[in-house]
Amino acid sequence: MVLVNPNKANMATIKSTFVNLLVTLTVITLVAGLSLGFVFQWTKEPIAAAQMQKQLQAIEAVVKDYDNNPVMEKFKVATTLGDSLEFFPAKSKGTLIGMAIKSHSSKGYSGDISLMVGFTVNGEIQNVVVIEHKETPGLGSKMSDSKFLNQFLEKNPGDINLRVKKDGGSIDAITGATISSRAFSEAVQKAYETFQLWKNGNPQQ
Amino acid sequence: MATLSNKEVFLKGIIRENPVFVILLGLCPTLGVTSSAVNGLGMGIATLFVLVMSNVVISSVKNLVPDKVRIPAFIVIIAAFVTVVQLLMAAYTPALNDQLGLFIPLIVVNCIVLGRAEAFASRNTMGASILDGLGMGVGFTLALTLLGTIRELLGSLSVFGYKLTESDGMLVFVLAPGAFITLGFIIAIMSWLKNRKPA
């Protein structure tokens, strides 16, 4: 049997003196801080491994038929907007056959959206994978659904207007998630432009 | 002074004092994440863990914390466990962590957790507090999963992620208003069942 008495006052035996308050809160926050530090150390490697795994899977999903290790050969390219994107070259027998580009947009509904966009050498989109987003579950998170994604596949952003229809482009936004769709399109467009920029600077590729 | 058996302490959280359908606490995550059954289940289990762990710690330090600082002390303890859950989820269930995103840190301000700490764990033994946390947590998980299943079925025409048909469902059930409507109906049905005169 358990005694339950909702009316009984809190049974604290320690008086609420200034020193007691100070000591109690200090001890509690210290213990909490230390345990968190421990858990952080403990989960640091699995978290890093999970993110690395995700990056690898994302690359595998967006470029195909390569025989090199794109992560080992990654490099950064500056965009026109002052930041830089990570490029993961996909090569077959030493020749470039595609490029996986990690792009991002800060115009998401609730934070940054990070994508992996795979291009053929001509700039045609092979596939897009959402790496990270903070969009509304069930709405903005539909960015990875095929219905929305298919609008980008095998398209060359040089030929079509990669903007949602509301902004005069040719992309059907996800119902109820125009902002997420806009951010997604922006990130893809940014990857494409930076890819073109890099190609123009490196004609030998 | 009321006495409850262990079984009653555990069971009250599931139906009679269900945190979502009867006490109506913690409605922010309830309405926010239940757009699919899996999200509801994941959120429920994360909250269950925080509830049980914070009940354990709070019931064991209850006599050492002066009254005046008990709320800040409880919040620190709860926040610590929420951060632990978040780190563990990021490490071992990254996909679910991405889906629930912002809502995991919000467990800190979930009224159920602080409510149980204040109303139960700070006045009862550790054993009873564990049972209370488990009962409330299971009740919360069941409620979220039920809401999520209904909303997913009507809104996306799928069950636990399996599409039944290709066509779109009623979008309103995926959005916040659908959460209110579904919750309202469930509460109405539960009240009707409770108040029904025995035949």
Pairing of the two strands A111-120 and A125-132:
antiparallel
Cα–Cα distance measured from residue A196 to residue A121, given in angstroms and rounded to the nearest whole number: 10
pLDDT, chain A, mean: 81
CA angle B127, B132, B137 (to 5 degrees): 130
Probe site for chain B from A15, A24, A41, A45 (most B CB atoms < 10 A): A24
How far is it between the farthest Cα atoms of chain B? 59
Residues of A with CB under 8 A from a CB of B: 1-6, 8, 10-17, 20-21, 24-25, 28-29, 32, 35-36, 39-40, 43, 46-47, 50-51, 54, 110, 132-139, 141, 175-176
Q: What is the pLDDT of residue B80?
A: 92
CA dist A143 and B95 (Å) reads: 15
Contacts of A17 (CB under 8 A, 6+ apart): B66
Mean pLDDT computed over A94-108? 85
8 Å CB contact of B83 and A36: yes
Q: Find, among B8, B14, B12, the residue nearest to B141 by Cα.
A: B14
Closest C-alpha among A170, A164, A169, A50 to residue A107? A164
Ordered per-residue pLDDT tens for chain B, 199 residues: 456 777 788 888 787 778 888 888 878 888 888 888 888 888 888 889 999 999 998 888 888 888 888 888 888 999 999 999 988 888 888 878 877 767 888 888 888 888 888 888 888 888 888 888 888 999 999 999 999 899 888 887 877 777 777 666 787 787 788 889 999 999 899 888 888 866 5
Residue of chain B nearest A177, judged by CA positions? B175
Q: What is the pLDDT of residue B141?
A: 92
pLDDT on residue A204: 55
- Say if residues A62 and A153 touch (Cβ distance below 8 Å): no
**Lookup: tokens for A174:** 């996800």
pTM here is: 0.73
Q: How many CB atoms lie within 10 A of CB A101?
A: 25
Q: In chain A, which residues have their Cβ closer than 8 Å to the Cβ of B156?
A: 138
pLDDT at residue A178, rounded to an integer: 85
* Contact (CB<8Å) A176/B39: no
Does the beta-carbon distance from A24 to B63 stay under 8 Å? Answer: no
Task: State the smallest CA–CA distance between residue A120 and chain B in angstroms.
Answer: 28
CB proximity list for B37: less than 8 A, separation 6 or greater: B145, B148, B149, B152, B159, B160, B161
Tens-digit pLDDT profile for residues A69-93: 887 788 888 888 778 888 888 888 8
Segment among A6-15, A50-59, B66-75, B86-95 with least mean pLDDT: A6-15
Question: What is the 8-class DSSP label of residue B124?
Answer: S
Which residues of B fall within a CB distance of 8 Å from A20?
66
Three-state secondary structure string covering A1-63: CEEECCCCCCCCCCCCCHHHHHHHHHHHHHHHHHHHHHHHHHHHHHHHHHHHHHHHHHHHHHC
**Where does the pLDDT of residue A7 fall: very low under 50, low under 70, confident under 90, or very high at 90 and above?**
very low
> For residue range A111-154, what is the model confidence (pLDDT) as tens digits?
888 888 888 888 888 888 888 777 776 667 778 777 788 888 77
Indicate the SS3 state at residue A65.
Answer: coil
Rounded Cα distance between B128 and B116, Å, is: 12
Given A2, A12, A141, which is nearest B9 (Cβ)?
A: A2
Q: What is the pLDDT, as a whole number, of residue B29?
A: 80
- A11 compared with A196, residue with greater pLDDT: A196
Residue carrying the six token digits 């959460």: B179
Closest chain A C-alpha to B124 CA, distance in angstroms:
7
A128 forms beta bridges with: A117
pLDDT score, position A12: 53
The reported pLDDT for the residue numbered A77 is 82
Half-sphere exposure of B30 (CA within 13 A, CB side): 27
**CB–CB of B114/B75 below 8 Å?**
yes
> At A195, which amino acid appears?
F
The SS3 call for residue A190 is helix
Q: How confident is the model at residue A38 (pLDDT cuts 50, 70, 90)?
A: very high
Minimal Cα distance from A28: which residue of B?
A: B73
Closest residue in B to A144 (Cα) is B99
Task: Give the residue from A1, A2, A53, A143 with the most B CB atoms within 10 Å of its CB, the best one to mutate.
Answer: A2
Tell me if residue A160 falls in helix, strand or coil. Answer: coil
| Spatial contact of A114 and A137, defined as CB atoms under 8 Å apart | no
B160 residue type, one letter: F
State yes or no: pLDDT of A48 exceeds 90.
Answer: no
Residue A16 and residue B1: Cβ atoms within 8 Å?
no
| CB contact at 8 A, B50 and B81 | yes
Question: Tokens 């069942």 correspond to what residue?
Answer: B193
Tell me the backbone φ, ψ of residue A91, rounded to 5 degrees: -125, 150
* Residue among A11, A16, A21 nearest B63 (CA): A11
- State the maximum Cα–Cα separation within chain A, in Å, rounded to a whole number: 81
